[in-house]
Structure 1
Amino acid sequence: MRARHSNYPIGKLLLNVIEQSGLDPKAFFAELGFTNFSKSIERLDGWLRHGEGNTLLLERLQSSRFAIDDNLLKQVMAENDVLLQRERAAVAKREEDEARQAFQPYLEVIPEFSRPTQITLFCLSGGNRRFGSRVPDDISAWPRDDQLACLKRLVRENFAKHQGRTYFTGRIVGYLYRPTFDSEPIQLTVTGDLEARGEPLSHAVSYLRLR
């Protein structure tokens, strides 16, 4: 096994246990009951690289003669969780900052179906983004009546251009407009009027990521 390291408390603890066992890694995992050394290393690497992983490794470790003191393990896992939460918060903030920087006001279609009839083709063709319409970048600074007048015109043009339909998600049944990143979307009818039925805000299906 090549030299390994970890930035996570649980990863450092596991490496220390293996080192203090006096066994080479293959013999160590064999004593834990693992017959496939490659898969054992994959389980270990999950904890080392990501601070979380397959719990079977910990379960077998705690049932062996190499078991970690319960209080120490709880302390290390608590420290590990703090680090993971900090990392997740940093990722979330970075993604939000990127989304804010990239945000542009846009008129988005609300389709008839919440799930595409052909998911693969829907994704490969770019989703419903193509059916929306760009709006002026500075529209959020306009008086509200001017915004609504512009939106009504764009909605009618858009609906006519696409003949009221999308690919794979049925008819266009409405539109969503969000003037700023932090504002709630405004729902419009297919004629460009404000949706006033008082129903819960419909969702738009613009893009699905293939996994």
Structure 2
Amino acid sequence: MSAVVDLLARLLNTADRRALARALVDRLGPGNRNKAFRRVHALVDDGACPPDLAERLLQAFPEDREALSIAIEQTRAERVAQRHAAMKALFRPHLFIRTERSRPRQITMFGLSGGVDRWLKLPLPEDIAERGTGVQRRLVREAVEAHAAECGEGRPVFSMGRTVGYLYRPRYEQSYAVSLDGRIVSGDQGLVNEPQSGVSIG
């Protein structure tokens, strides 16, 4: 249970999730109850508390505003940490392809055809971070050369325009800028937020 939900359960004197959700919707006051139920259930189940919902909660519990504000920030920090832990567990070394467009021209087709993982990531050996610097540089250069040979002039990426550079990601917390000719041209830039993509049907 997240910090904010734990506090709300104590304030409303109920540990039952359904009862807590109903009590919160009633406490939030007039409005679209169906929408309120969806958002409150997301809060109770996952700790999701966007800024507008957070503000409504603070207004609904004026006598506990300070404690609630602290719990909301704790919950946001928890969710960020959980998200990073999940992404780190799934991380595999790769080159991220930087393109002239930040968003696909055809978002749906981009997602359906494989999205970021297919079009913007070039896989590298799982143990590349454990290898010597010279070996890493060679493997990065070879991956860039293979990508250039596959894509042709301008190295176009489906729906994203031309390639303008690369980002070498040997570990989740590490990133290095890579030029179009495959040279690592920066020191460690740390953790970067790469775009994600997915498609849901139904």
When normalised by structure 2's length, the TM-score is 0.65
Aligned to 1:153: 142
The code of the aligned residue for 1:77 comes to R
User: Take 1:158 and 1:57, find their aligned partners in 2: how far apart are those partners?
Assistant: 51
Q: SS at the partner of 2:108?
A: helix
Q: Which runs of 5+ in 2 are unaligned?
A: 14-18
Aligned to 2:16: none
Which of 180, 198, 201 is 1:190 aligned to? 180
**Displacement after TM superposition at 1:48 (Å):** 8.2
User: Take 1:90 and 1:120, find their aligned partners in 2: how far apart are those partners?
Assistant: 31
Percent of counterpart pairs with the same letter? 22
User: Take 1:204 and 1:50, find their aligned partners in 2: how far apart are those partners?
Assistant: 24
User: CA-to-partner distance for each residue in 1:103-140, whole Å, 9 max, x for gaps?
Assistant: 21111211121222122222222224224321111111
1:92–1:206 CA distance, 2 compared to 1 (3 A): closer
Q: SS at the partner of 2:156?
A: coil
Which of 101, 120, 124 is 1:135 aligned to? 124
Which of 70, 73, 91 is 1:85 aligned to? 73
Larger Cα-atom Rg:
1
Aligned to 1:3: none
User: 1:13-52 residue pairs with structure 2 within 5 A?
Assistant: 39-40=32-33, 43=36, 50=43
Q: Within the alignment, does 1:118 sit opposite 2:106 as a pair?
A: yes
1:173–1:87 CA distance, 2 compared to 1 (3 A): same
The answer to whether the 8 Å contact 1:108/1:204 transfers is no
User: Take 2:134 and 2:43, find their aligned partners in 1: how far apart are those partners?
Assistant: 51
User: CA-to-partner distance for each residue in 1:165-207, whole Å, 9 max, x for gaps?
Assistant: 1111111221111111222x212122212347x9x9xx99754
Aligned length: 174
User: 1:95-114 residue pairs with structure 2 within 5 A?
Assistant: 95-114=83-102
Q: SS at the partner of 1:153?
A: helix
Which of 170, 178, 182 is 2:169 aligned to? 178
User: 1:163-174 residue pairs with structure 2 within 5 A?
Assistant: 163=152, 164-174=155-165
The code of the aligned residue for 2:112 comes to L
User: Take 1:57 and 1:142, find their aligned partners in 2: how far apart are those partners?
Assistant: 51
User: Take 1:171 and 1:48, find their aligned partners in 2: how far apart are those partners?
Assistant: 43
Q: Which runs of 5+ in 1 are unaligned?
A: 1-5, 20-24, 60-67
**Displacement after TM superposition at 1:55 (Å):** 6.7
**Displacement after TM superposition at 1:77 (Å):** 2.1
The answer to whether the 8 Å contact 1:111/1:205 transfers is no
